[in-house]
Structure 1
Amino acid sequence: MSPTSPRPSAAQENLVRQAGRALARHGLVHAYGHCSMRLDQGHFLVSPAKPLGLVGDEDSCSVVPLEGPLPDGVLGEVRIHREIYRRRPEVGGVVRSMPPRVMTLGTARITPKPRHGFGSYFAPQPPLWDDPQLLRDDVQAAALAEQMAAARAIVMRGNGAVTAGGSLEEAVVLTWYLEDAARVEFEARAAGIAEGGVILGEAEVAQRATWSGAILDRMWAYLTTPQR
């Protein structure tokens, strides 16, 4: 961390670690995946460069500036987070994940349509980054962020997904929603009912894709509380 970088609070570091462990607990990441939260207009805090399910309370997160090179020890694909934060001041959290059903559909160049409530948050459907390679240079990361534009998620062909939310909590919840939308899409196609199935209309999406009624808080609590 450079002398001009903000020093994250213990609560902020704990939040990033908690988010990473929640993603791992629910099978949304495995050996690969990372998450981050915005600290200020010029910096964000990213999870440790290790499998998120193995992150301990002693593992430090890294402060990443929006300008200049990535700090030593930060994973190459964290460039994706940086490019999203640069373009979207409303974004407070980013998750790079490997959800199984999202991955399966992505190999066929399919992204889920809004067939149920959770899918409505991504209407009309997430864009597809049609390249299975890792993104480890600034040009590719910038191109993905440009294609994602204002969407809440982008699916990467055979390579997982990226979600962006107003907070890290929101980005984590959106990752779970995206995987559930992919589950419904997959199962509807497997059952042969997708073509005749109902897709939520614009008005239905506008009403359903809401955070009111503690929807975000309840899902965050579910994802971050170890099951008994």
Structure 2
Amino acid sequence: MDGADVGADVATAGRVLAALGLVTAFGHVSARDDGHLLITPAAPLAGVGDGDLIRVPLDATTLPPGAPGESWLHLSVYARRPDVHAIARGQPPAAFAAAAATRSLRPLHGQACWAGRAIPVHDDARLLRDRALADAAADTLGEHAALLLRGNGAAATAEHPGLAVTRLWLLSAACQAWLSATASGPVRSLTDTEIDAWQAVERDLLPRLWYHLRETSETNEGGPT
């Protein structure tokens, strides 16, 4: 991935998340940074810059002013998952419907495998604005790459903020595909062998998809700056 400037990467990812329509007035992107997380503020993401980011200690017991209330989810996931370096949190419209209709979403198309072999649904629609609720959601996430939150959107993890946004976009597409397929009758999920084959090329192709989403957002919106 490009760049070593964590703040710039988080801000760019936030603006792309907004341009993709995966957030409204609510949603956030974060990344680990030297014993802290850098997270987008409790504000619309379309105009966020790296100077607007909030720095939160990973061992925080209270949130600093300006931090989203659901920063607790980010803190809980980072505490459990040393492999996770970035998180994107949004409200893809299709996620609300899919999470109300299933307890686990299995991919129906190849690229959806890059969001995970199966996406668990956290069966609690309350906002994750305290440590206990956030811990419960992080437990549901477990070792998965992404999470559907019944009545409350979705979250995705990755090694880089852009890849977390890309996974959230893939999760949105996976939800849309699942809803369309189930409306037509029984669905045929990908087999374990097929999922393995797609996940084998994820490291090469997921960054390529992020670059596409970023460039498309810049072209359509006048450019995340």
User: Which bracket does the TM-score occupy, shorter chain normalised?
Assistant: 0.7 to 0.9
| Structure whose CA Rg is larger | 1
Deviations 1:146-195 (A, max 9, x none): 11110011101121001111221221111111011111101111223xx1
Cα distance in structure 2, aligned partners of 1:12 and 1:147: 27
Equivalent position to 1:138, from 131, 140, 143: 131
- Following superposition, the deviation at residue 141 of structure 1 comes to 0.6
Report the number of matched residues: 215
CA RMSD of aligned residues (A): 2.0
1:119–1:10: structure 2 CA closer, same or farther, 3 Å change rule?
closer
Match of 2:17 among 18, 23, 27: 23
Shift of 1:106: 1.5
Q: Can you give the 5+ residue segments of structure 2 that lack an aligned partner in the other structure?
A: 221-225
User: Are the counterparts in 1 of residues 122 and 147 from structure 2 also a CA contact under 8 Å?
Assistant: yes
Normalised TM-score (structure 2): 0.88
- Structure 1 SS opposite 2:119: coil
Equivalent residue, structure 1, for 2:219: 227
Q: Is the 8 A contact 1:109 1:157 kept in 2?
A: no
Aligned to 1:185: 178
Contact 2:36 2:55 in 1 (8 A): yes
Distance 1:58 1:201, change over 3 A: closer
**Structure number having the greater helix percentage:** 2
User: Which of residues 61, 83, 89 in structure 2 aligns to 1:96?
Assistant: 89
Structure 1 residue 39 corresponds to structure 2 residue 33? yes
Unaligned runs of at least 5 residues, structure 1:
1-8
Q: CA deviation at 1:131?
A: 1.3
8 Å contact kept, 1:118–1:178:
no
Q: TM-score, normalised by structure 1?
A: 0.87
Deviates more, 1:31-40 or 1:121-130: 121-130
Partners of 1:46 and 1:62 within 8 A in 2: yes
**In the alignment, is the contact (CA less than 8 A) between 1:48 and 1:59 conserved in 2?**
no
For 1:211 and 1:54, the matched residues in 2 are separated by 33
Match of 2:206 in 1: 216
Q: Offset of 1:211 from its aligned partner? A: 4.5
Letter in 1 for 2:159: G
Contact 1:13–1:60 under 8 Å retained in 2:
no
Q: 1:61 aligns with which of 34, 53, 57?
A: 53
Aligned residue number for residue 44 of structure 2:
51
Moved over 6 A (4+): none
One-letter code aligned to 2:59 = E
Q: CA deviation at 1:52?
A: 0.8
Shift of 1:33: 0.3
Deviation at 1:210? 3.7
Paired residues of 1:23 and 1:29 also in contact (CA < 8 A): yes
**Aligned residues of 2:105 and 2:120 also touching (Cα < 8 A):** no
